[in-house]
Structure 1
C-alpha cells in the first residue's frame, strides 16, 4: 500500500509517517520502480502500535524502547514495567497540576458572580492586579 493508504488505515498523517521513518521507529519501505513507497502489513501493525502508544501520551523515546523490546522478545520485561510506572507518575503529576489549575480558575470565577460592566468585574480586577505584580485571589494559596 502507498503512504496515503497507510495513513488512512491508521489515522496517522503522511508527514508523521515520514518522521517516524526518519526517527527509526518505522522501517523504511520498499520503493517501487516509480519511486513510490510500498508499505506492507508489518508497517501497518508497527504504525498502529506507535499510534496506540502515542494515544497513551508516551514520548517517542519510550516508544523507541518498547519497539526495541518487541524486536528482542527474550529480554526481561522489568524495564517495560518501569517505563509504564514512569508514565503513570507523569500522568498523576499532570492530573495534580490540572486540579490546581481548576481550583485557581474556580477561585477567580468566584470574584464575579453576576453580570456587570467591565469596570466592575472582579475577574478583570484580579487579572489586572496580577499583571501589575500584585497578589491575586487565584494565586494567594
Structure 2
C-alpha cells in the first residue's frame, strides 16, 4: 500500500497532481488508513501510470476517462473502440499541425515584409498588414 506522498514520488508527480486526478474521477484511493490517509494499491499505481502515459501522448482528461473505462472492461469493448479514439485524436493533432503551419507561413510573410529598422512604426508593413489583410502583405520593405 502507498500513501499519497509515496505514490506521487513513485510516479514522479506531486501530491496536487494526484489529487487533481482524484477530483476528476480518474483515480480513487483504494482505502483510507485509520488516521485518514489515502491508501493506494499496486493496481492504483498501474492506473496512475496508465493515466500519465496517456497524458504524455496528448490525450485530454475526458479522453483518458474513456480509455480507462475501456481498460477496466476490456472484455466488453472492441479494439475498434480504442482505435477510433486514437484516430480521432490523431486527426485533431494533424489539424492543429496544419493550423500551426499556416500560422508559421503568415508570420514569416509578416516578418519578411518588414525591414526591422529603428525608424518610426508609422509606416510599418506588419502593422499595416494586421490592420487590413495579412495575406496582402507586401514583400518589399517600406524603408529602402
TM band (smaller chain) = 0.7 to 0.9
TM-score (structure 2 length as normaliser) = 0.80
In 1, distance between residues paired with 2:122 and 2:42? Answer: 59
Query: Deviation string for 1:95-127 (max 9, x for gaps)?
Result: 0011011101111110234x52151697x5423
| 1:33 to 2:31 alignment | no
List alignment gaps of at least 5 residues for structure 2.
138-144
Calculate the TM-score normalised by the size of structure 1.
0.82
Corresponding residue of 1:16: 17
Query: Would you say the 8 A contact 2:114–2:126 is kept in 1?
Result: no
Structure-2 change in CA distance of 1:121 and 1:104 (3 Å): farther
Runs of 4+ in 1 over 3 A off after TM superposition: 138-141
Equivalent residue, structure 2, for 1:77: 79
- Extract unaligned runs of 5+ from structure 1: none
- Superposed CA deviations along residues 28-58 of structure 1, whole A, max 9, x for unmatched, are 2321122211222112111111011111111
Give the length in aligned residue pairs: 135
- Judge conservation of contact 1:12–1:51 (CA < 8 Å) in 2: no
Contact 2:114–2:125 (Cα < 8 Å) also in 1: no
Structure 2: distance between partners of 1:127 and 1:120: 8
Q: What is the RMSD computed on CA atoms of the aligned residues?
A: 2.3
Counterpart mapping for 1:1-141 below 5 A: 1-74=2-75, 75-113=77-115, 116-119=117-120, 124-127=124-127, 130=130, 134-136=131-133, 138-140=134-136
